[in-house]
């Protein structure tokens, strides 16, 4: 049976954080695969999907706290870009910077659908 939660003061919280071994609980590495190794028909929970597309890493979150520019949309954290998955518009800090090609948008959408199964993408408008 689990313990009852304890009310901690600030000093106790600081002591706990300082004594925690973050290195021990850090992942050894992150591996991004081109194709899923999960067999077809095996259900899985989708919270966040990471895609490698044309040498770039893009992430799609199921429940993004900020639905701009589309819901869902793709993040490229390396360059701080977001792409609207319906129009292909490319944003940097909510400022329109350009548009990805129709060919690349369709290829990205196809990869997302293949990897995430049940995700509903915005209507295509290109």
**Exposed, middle or buried, 47 (CB in 10 Å: 0-12/13-18/19+)?**
exposed
Q: With a cut of 60, say whether residue 51 has pLDDT above it.
A: yes
Q: Quick one: average pLDDT of 98-113?
A: 90
Please give the model's pTM, rounded to 2 decimal places. 0.61
Q: How many domains is the chain partitioned into structurally?
A: 1
Tell me the pLDDT tens digit for each residue of 19-44: 887 767 665 556 667 776 667 766 55
Q: Is residue 48 part of a domain?
A: yes
Proportion of the chain above pLDDT 90, given as a percent: 24
Q: Is residue 81 part of a domain?
A: yes
Q: The domain containing residue 48 runs over which residues?
A: 43-116
Contact 123, 110 (CB under 8 A): no
Q: Is residue 34 part of a domain?
A: no
Q: Is residue 8 part of a domain?
A: no
Least confident of 12-16, 26-30, 107-111: 26-30
Q: Quick one: average pLDDT of 80-90?
A: 94
Report pLDDT for 1. Answer: 45
Q: Is residue 29 part of a domain?
A: no
């Amino acid at each position: 049976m689990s313990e009852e939660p304890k009310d901690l003061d600030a000093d106790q919280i600081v002591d706990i954080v300082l004594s925690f071994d973050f290195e021990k609980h850090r992942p050894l590495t992150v591996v991004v695969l081109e194709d899923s190794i999960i067999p077809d028909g095996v259900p899985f929970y989708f919270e966040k999907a990471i895609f490698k597309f044309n040498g770039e890493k893009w992430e799609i979150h199921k429940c993004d706290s900020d639905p701009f520019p589309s819901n869902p949309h793709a993040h490229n954290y390396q360059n701080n870009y977001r792409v609207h998955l319906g129009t292909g518009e490319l944003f940097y800090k909510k400022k329109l910077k350009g548009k990805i090609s129709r060919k690349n948008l369709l290829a990205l959408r196809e990869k997302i659908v293949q990897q995430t199964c049940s995700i509903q993408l915005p209507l295509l408008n290109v």
